[in-house]
Amino acid sequence: MQITESITCPFCGQSFELVIDTSVPSQCFTTDCEICCRPFEVVAESEPGEILSLDVRAN
């Protein structure tokens, strides 16, 4: 199950929406900011249908 979550870019501070697959209990991936296009790391802990925690890390 996928959930759309709002995250904040660690570089430009703008928030945008990201789709998280909550069937994966623990995931870490790199995404590009939609506003400034810089890549950063997203760390998500999930239960099916629910996001437990979502962190962003600047590389």
**Lookup: tokens for 28:** 């870490």
Q: Which is nearer to Zn ion, 11 or 27 (CB)?
A: 11
For the chain, how far is it from start to end, CA to CA, in angstroms? Answer: 28
Is 58 a binding residue for Zn ion by CB under 5 A? The answer is no
**Separation of alpha carbons 21 and 18, rounded Å:** 10
User: Which of the stretches 1-9, 17-25, 44-52 binds Zn ion when contact is defined by CB under 5 A?
Assistant: 1-9
Site string for Zn ion, 4-43 (x = CB under 5 A): -----x-xx--------------------x-xx-------
Q: Give the CA diameter of the chain.
A: 31
